[in-house]
Structure 1
Amino acid sequence: MSAGQGSAIERQVSLRRLYGDLNSELRWQCLHHPEEDHHLRRDSSAEDDVGGAALVGFFNFIRPHAVQIAGSCELAYLRAHPEAITQFPPHRLCLLVVCEGQILDDHLYEDLKARHIAVMATPMGAKIVLARLQHYLHQELAPRQQVHGVLVDVLGVGLLLQGEAGIGKSELALELVSRGHRLVADDSVLCIREAPNVLTGHCPAPLRNFLEVRGLGIINIREFFGAAAIVRSKRIRLVVEIQDMRDMEMADIDRLQGKVDHLDILGTQLPRLCMPVSAVRNLAVLVEAAARSQYVKESGGDMLADFEAQVRLSVGEE
């Protein structure tokens, strides 16, 4: 199995799919659907919206939503100000969802049809519909990217193992699983930006449960070690770049904190630790130590600062 790092995957959701996926939950009825189906895409102008949550909302005339939720209050406003619907640009407003069992006035319905705007009705409360649509679109439209590597859950820390082909990433993952840790994905990791600075790694469906080990071939981790050895997804907290010690400039490595930089995936800066590999180094133990170190850092600890303070204290005592 082999895969390179790809570019970000652009996602879209058609209104027909939206209707079908949520029909059983929202119990809605399609009152009107234009002949040409609309497609919802992530709003790139919404800086804090990493998925599609900003596409849905109650009436907003300044930054209109593609999907407008209309409950009793919104429809009462439209009845009093029927011209207000024309303030929504047709290219922005794709769908009006009438909630709470409300009845849409005939003239408003005909106006929406003329503007090629889809109309759906549901007996559910407006806030419930809003929350469900935002959650659905956030999941479907969140930025995602396929990257090459092996993702493992070590002591609760998601580690993305990267390195040249044949460096031993899958063998290392197998050893980590045999030590009680969990595999997320081998060779190809689907990264999804769930929230600002939150990147989760998932296993593509065709590769789920499997690991390729040179000399052994394809093995089923679930069959070998049980269901507890597999996890569907994990937040990526640290990238471990495995490099051949002979190829690394050892003089460039800081002996007190290693060689650390950052890897950018989908606009998220992930800390990256370069790990030199050789026949005499136990990588599994080193990776476990890296996971513990990352956990300490995220908890507010600074082992280097503690060491330097202890050295200064010892020098002062002498």
Structure 2
Amino acid sequence: MTENISVKSLFDTHRNKLALVHVAGSNGEDRHIHFDGPQITDEDDRDVSYVGHLNFIHPHRIQIIGYREIEYFMRLSQQGRHESLNRLYEGNPLCIIIANGIDVPDDFIARSENTGLPLYSSTQNSQFLVNNLQYYLSHSLAERATIHGVFMEVIGIGVLLSGESSVGKSELALELISRGHRLIADDAPEFSRIGPDTLSGSCPPPIKNFLEVRGLGVLNIRAMFGDSAIKDSKYLRVIVHLEKMDEDQLLHIDRLCGSHQKKSILGVEVEQVTLPVAPGRNLAVLVEIAVRNHILTLKGYHAAEDFIQRQQQFLEQDRE
């Protein structure tokens, strides 16, 4: 599910930061920036980027025009300029922004008034506009998914505690918070894919700061532990799945490498560690160690491989 953003709301949100001024084409400000509506009907158009400098071959949804683009138009003959404007406006962008404080050409104004296509100007550098709008739109329009669990920041790493209801996720989260780690979202964290291999997780506003613990009810973690116990968002890097296991299931866990899998969320593969839930196990410590082990893995160190190599070396020495 993606969020729909109107051109007008985008303009209102960034009016001050991007120094945007509306010039012409107010009739088209109700256009929405999204990939699920009727404005994009060709399957190939789904590969079009949200925002970028003027491009006729692969038109951006928001066309930015800076010094080089204006110079290009100025070098054209009257007929060539007319044809280029036709290509620009017939490409049906959502809006056009003239950057760098450049005086907006009269033919742009006239064409926007006739077509209703919103035209803005800005004193900001064109690349500054591209970077800021691309960042904002990639987050706002990213594909989203809500997953049951508790999302935490543990040792600087985004960790999702998952498992069946009543398995002890909230109690574990509370213990981690008491150990100095931070809560992001309880019960229904929302994840969005903001890059090819990046998931950003955050908390829906209605449940922000709250954690439900059976027997204690709903707790306000910010009020109880302070602002440092809450994190607004974090990239998801590790899933710790809590599972109640019988003796037979425990025997089938790989004692050398542990229980590691990959779980796909919105097409992104995320490392998942399964921890058996049993009396006497300190799950908070195990989660911390799972995160530390993940950090070592990112650095290229694998304890199981190191252990195997060491045993092989000792065996070879014995043979000699």
* Counterpart check, 1:57 vs 2:52: yes
8 Å Cα contact 2:25/2:112 also seen in 1: no
- Which one-letter code corresponds to 1:38 in the other structure? R
Give how far 1:219 is off: 1.1
- Which one-letter code corresponds to 2:19 in the other structure? R
User: What is the distance in 2 between the residues matched to 1:185 and 1:32?
Assistant: 43
Partner of 2:8: 16
8 Å Cα contact 1:65/1:92 also seen in 2: no
User: What is the distance in 2 between the residues matched to 1:17 and 1:246?
Assistant: 55
Q: Find the residue that maps to 1:35 and give its secondary structure.
A: helix
Q: Paired residue for 2:63, among 64, 68, 71?
A: 68
Give how far 1:91 is off: 5.5
Give how far 1:114 is off: 2.7
Would the alpha carbon gap of residues 205 and 108 (structure 1) be closer, same or farther in structure 2, given more than 3 Å must change? Answer: closer
- Which one-letter code corresponds to 1:93 in the other structure? P
User: What is the distance in 1 between the residues matched to 2:276 and 2:131?
Assistant: 47
Q: Find the residue that maps to 1:243 and give its secondary structure.
A: strand
| Runs of 4 or more consecutive aligned structure 1 residues displaced over 4 Å after TM superposition | 42-47
8 Å Cα contact 2:64/2:96 also seen in 1: yes
| Aligned residue pairs, count | 306
- Which one-letter code corresponds to 1:122 in the other structure? S
User: What is the distance in 1 between the residues matched to 2:203 and 2:247?
Assistant: 30
8 Å Cα contact 1:150/1:187 also seen in 2: yes
Give how far 1:85 is off: 1.8
User: What is the distance in 1 between the residues matched to 2:26 and 2:222?
Assistant: 47
User: What is the distance in 1 between the residues matched to 2:119 and 2:310?
Assistant: 68
RMSD: 2.3
Task: Output the TM-score relative to the length of structure 2.
Answer: 0.88
Partner of 2:95: 95
Q: Find the residue that maps to 1:25 and give its secondary structure.
A: coil
Partner of 1:39: 32
* Counterpart check, 1:264 vs 2:264: yes
Q: Find the residue that maps to 1:88 and give its secondary structure.
A: helix
Would the alpha carbon gap of residues 284 and 101 (structure 1) be closer, same or farther in structure 2, given more than 3 Å must change? Answer: closer
Tell me, which stretches of 5 or more residues in structure 1 are unaligned? Answer: 1-8
Would the alpha carbon gap of residues 100 and 145 (structure 1) be closer, same or farther in structure 2, given more than 3 Å must change? Answer: same
Partner of 1:200: 200
Partner of 1:6: none
Higher relative contact order (CA 8 A, sep 6+): 1
8 Å Cα contact 2:152/2:160 also seen in 1: yes
- Which one-letter code corresponds to 2:279 in the other structure? A
Give how far 1:248 is off: 7.3
Partner of 1:229: 229
User: What is the distance in 2 between the residues matched to 1:108 and 1:219?
Assistant: 57
Give how far 1:247 is off: 8.9
Give how far 1:46 is off: 8.5
User: What is the distance in 2 between the residues matched to 1:105 and 1:154?
Assistant: 54
User: What is the distance in 2 between the residues matched to 1:144 and 1:248?
Assistant: 37
8 Å Cα contact 1:202/1:232 also seen in 2: yes
Task: Output the TM-score relative to the length of structure 1.
Answer: 0.88
